[in-house]
Each structure stands twice: as C-alpha cells, then as structure tokens.
Amino acid sequence: MSWHHMPCCEAAAPATRGIAALGARTVRVRRHRGGSPVRDKDMNNMQTGSTPQDDRTGDSVLGGLGAQAHGASGGLLPVWMHDGANRVEHVLARVLCAEHDGETGLMAAMRYATLQGGKRTRALLCLAAGTLAGAPAHMLEDVGAAIEMMHACTLVHDDLPAMDDDVLRRGLPTVHVKFGEATAILVGDALQAHAFLTLASLDAPGDSRIALVRELAQAVSAEGAAGGQAKDLSLVGKHVELDRIVAMHQMKSGALVRASVRMGALCAVADNAAHAALYCALDHYSACFGLALQVIDDILDVTADTATLGKTPGKDAAAQKPTCASIMGLQAARQFALDLLRDAAESIAPLGPRAERLAQLLKRANAYLFKHAPCA
Ligand code: IPE
Ligand code: IPE
Ligand code: MG
Ligand code: MG
Ligand code: MG
C-alpha cells in the first residue's frame, strides 16, 4: 500500500484539510514540558543562534535545542545538508542548461532565479524524508530540484509589482528588477514547466511519476500556493482572526513544504502497512514545519535586517499585510512558531534515529529564529 493509495490515512488528506485544526491545536499545546524528543547528538554541526537569554525562556524542547545549538557552535551545517544542497544544485544547473539559452536570455534569467542562493529547505526536506523511507538518492535529487524550481517560481511571482513589489531577493535584485517584468512572468511560467518536465522524465514507474506530478500540482494549485497567495492579497489592509492567517499560511507556503516531504517519501517503494504510520508521522511533521516556516518569516520581516534576510525587511507592515506577527504580537508569534516546531519534533520522535535529519532541519529553523528574533 503506497501513500497515494491510502485513502483512510490522514496523511492522504488534501494539503489544506487535515491541518484545519492544527492552528488551534498548536496554540493550545502545553507550554512547559521537560525533555527534548529530538536527539541532540549531532548538534555540533548545526548552524547556531541561541543566546543565554533564550535559554532562560525555559521552554523545554526548543529552548533546549537553541541552547545546544549555541553551545556547540561552529556555524556549520551538517555535512549531509551541505552535500544534499550541492547535489540538488548540480541537477538544477544541468536542467536549466545555459547552452540552451536562445537570443532572449530567458534561461539565463531562470538560472538567476534558481541558482543564486536560498536555504534549500524544501529540497532538503525531500532528501531527508525520502532517505528515511528508503528512496534512491539520485531520484530524490531530481525531485528536490523540481521542488526548488517550483519554489523559485513562487518567489519570482511573489516579488512582482502586482504582488509584493519587492526589489531584493536572496541578496540580489529581484528577477523583474534585473530582467524586466515580462521576463519575470515568463521565468515563473517556464520554471513551473521545467519542474513538471523533471518529474515526468524521472527514471521511475509511470504511476510513481504521476503521483509526484499530482503532489506538486496540488501544492501550487488553487487549494495550495496560488490560492494562498490570492488570500494573502485579499486580506491586505484588513484585521482578521488568527485562524484566517493560519489557513492562508498553510496554503501559500505550507502546502509546498508539506508536498516536499510527501514527495520524498513517495520516491520510496512502500508496500506494507508499516509505512502508513510513517507517512502519518511525516505528514504531521511537515504540516507543522510548513506553517512554522511562514510564521518565522513573518516574525523576521519585523525583527531582522536586510543582510540577514537578503530581502527588504518591514515589507509586511508597509504593505498592510496581516501576519502572525501583526495579529498575535511578536512574542506570541514567536511562541507559536516554537510550539509548531516542537509539535513537529514530537511527531517524528517515535521514528527514532532514522528521523535524525528531519530533526536537524527543525533545529536549523529553531536556531535561525533564536538568532534573528531573540526573546524580548
Ligand atoms: C521564502 O522561503 C518564502 C516563504 C515561504 C517564507 P524561504 O525562506 O525558504 O526562501 P529561500 O529559498 O531560502 O530563499
Ligand atoms: C510568500 O510569502 C510565500 C510564497 C508563496 C512565495 P511572503 O511574501 O511572506 O514571502 P517573502 O517574505 O516575500 O519571501
Ligand atoms: Mg507574499
Ligand atoms: Mg513576499
Ligand atoms: Mg514574508
């Protein structure tokens, strides 16, 4: 029984359904618990960020994670993250081949949008989940590259004057600033097409390729990122309840994060019921993580500087966007993000050491939050 043939499992629910109660559930989660469910033995390689002040917040699991990230310093990523990102970038460079550029320079603009930085979180989630599930590395690298192309497409379009009108992305002028608005629109279109081409060209059975295409398409559909972006624009200037912000975040960015994990697991051949529990754990992990990433993004838009973000800070307030930070206040939003990361950690804790890489990605996000949005 594979994931895409598993109608009874919560993990098979559409990306925006099972999570409907997540915001409320997570807001309610207990504030003070002892003991980290996340193994800490590899913390010596983690990107660091917490401060002694953070350690005194006393929020067990994530305070603990931050403290250990800080204590083990070095500022380096775990080797697998570094190698995984490099391997995915090699696929990107091959797929977006400069030699195929015609006189228009469209491919050069696509390479600019895709190959110039980025934390590669979604590709790494795909690699970590897929490796855990037993998928072949070469397939995960191709799928990770497809996901990163789709992610880059959403960023290029998000930055357009008609959307967020941003001039800086990944520390560089945005694609429309550098190449013009028409080219930026076409870059997004073509990146999306190349993402699906990459999945369709995988050396894998037809039903696996179809399942992967469906996952990615659903994640950016009207029920996913595109729908979430429409909600984002429709809420400008409005004061709305938190649950509407959460629903928007789950769609506009959470759905692709969730798909990244699901697609990694889909690359594995899974024929027994034991995998049902794995998929459910992964799905909850990715739903929590995806929402946390956007909440953190909202917070850092307020607290971080241009050099840290590689984009212009303060844009959400300037554009009158309701965000978790503006609705909840910075400290409550920060706690919300920590709760979500902790929930994600707890959902994979029963998987034991094989979920270590997924845990490390949580720790990286946690350290990033501690470093750039320290506790008041
Ligand atoms: C930015 O995503 C947009 C959001 C969904 C918050 P990332 O923060 O993952 O951006 P890159 O890929 O590292 O640039
Ligand atoms: C956009 O959210 C999420 C996407 C679907 C790209 P934001 O608009 O907050 O992302 P940034 O801050 O520009 O990266
Ligand atoms: Mg936006
Ligand atoms: Mg934006
Ligand atoms: Mg943002």
Q: Which ligand is nearest to the CA of 364?
A: 1
Q: Crossing angle, helix 121-133 and helix 255-266, to 10 degrees? A: 30
3-state secondary structure 329-361: CHHHHHHHHHHHHHHHHHHHHHHHHHHHHHHHH
Ligand nearest, relative to CA of residue 156: 2
Among 164, 299, 312, which residue has the most ligand 2 atoms within 8 Å of its CB, making it the best to mutate?
Answer: 164
Q: For 3-372, which CATH superfamily applies?
A: Farnesyl Diphosphate Synthase (1.10.600.10)
Ligand having the closest approach to the CA of 155: 2
Is residue 307 within 8 Å of 280, Cβ to Cβ? no
* Alpha carbon nearest to ligand 1 atom 6, residue: 294
Phi, psi of 299 (to 5 degrees): -65, -50
Measured CA distances, 102 to 105, 106, 156, 285 (Å): 6, 8, 21, 43
Cα(319) to ligand 5 centroid in Å equals 11
Report pLDDT for 13: 34
DSSP letters, 85-130, are: HHHHHHHHHHHS-GGG--TT-HHHHHHHHHHS----HHHHHHHHHH
Residue minimizing CA distance to atom 12 of ligand 1:
118
Q: How far is the CA of 128 from the centre of ligand 4 (A)?
A: 27
State the pLDDT at residue 271.
59
CB 149 within 8 A of CB 88: no
CA dihedral 77→78→80→83, nearest 10 degrees, is 30
Indicate which ligand has the atom closest to the C-alpha of 257.
1
How far is the centre of ligand 1, averaged over its atoms, from the C-alpha of 121 (Å)?
8
3-state DSSP assignment of residue 11: helix
Pocket of ligand 2 (CB under 6 A): 154-155, 158, 164, 166, 225, 229, 252-253, 297, 311
Q: What is the pLDDT of residue 101?
A: 79
Taking 70 as the pLDDT cut, the residues of the chain under it are 1-75, 270-274
Question: Counting Cβ atoms within 10 Å, is residue 327 exposed (0-12), middle (13-18) or buried (19+)?
Answer: middle
Question: What is the CB-side half-sphere exposure of residue 86 using CA atoms within 13 A?
Answer: 7
* φ, ψ at 172 (rounded to 5°): -130, 160
Q: pLDDT, tens digit, for every residue of 151-169?
A: 999 999 999 999 999 999 9
Atom number in ligand 2 closest to CA 316 = 9
Q: Which two tokens stand for residue 211?
A: 């399942």
What phi and psi, each to the nearest 5 degrees, are found at residue 190? -70, -35
Q: Give the residue, out of 148, 153, 253, with the most ligand 2 atoms within 8 A of its beta carbon, to mutate for a pocket test.
A: 253
User: What's residue 270's pLDDT?
Assistant: 66
- Residue 172 β-bridge partners: 169
How far, in Å, from the CA of 293 to the mean position of ligand 1? Answer: 8
Q: Which long-range contacts (CB under 8 A, 24 or more apart) does 236-243 make?
A: 236/319, 236/320, 236/321, 237/320, 238/322, 239/322, 239/327, 240/322, 240/327, 241/327, 242/23, 242/27, 242/324, 242/327, 242/328, 243/23, 243/24
pLDDT per residue as tens digits for the range 96-108: 998 877 789 999 9
pLDDT at 20: 35
Q: How many CB atoms lie within 10 A of CB 375?
A: 20
* Domain boundary assignment for the chain: 3-372
Cβ < 6 A, ligand 1 pocket: 118-119, 121, 151, 170, 253, 293-294, 297
For a substitution probing ligand 1, which of 89, 92, 116, 121 has the most ligand atoms within 8 Å of its CB?
121
Pocket mutation for ligand 2, best pick of 119, 147, 155, 311 (most atoms within 8 Å of C-beta): 155
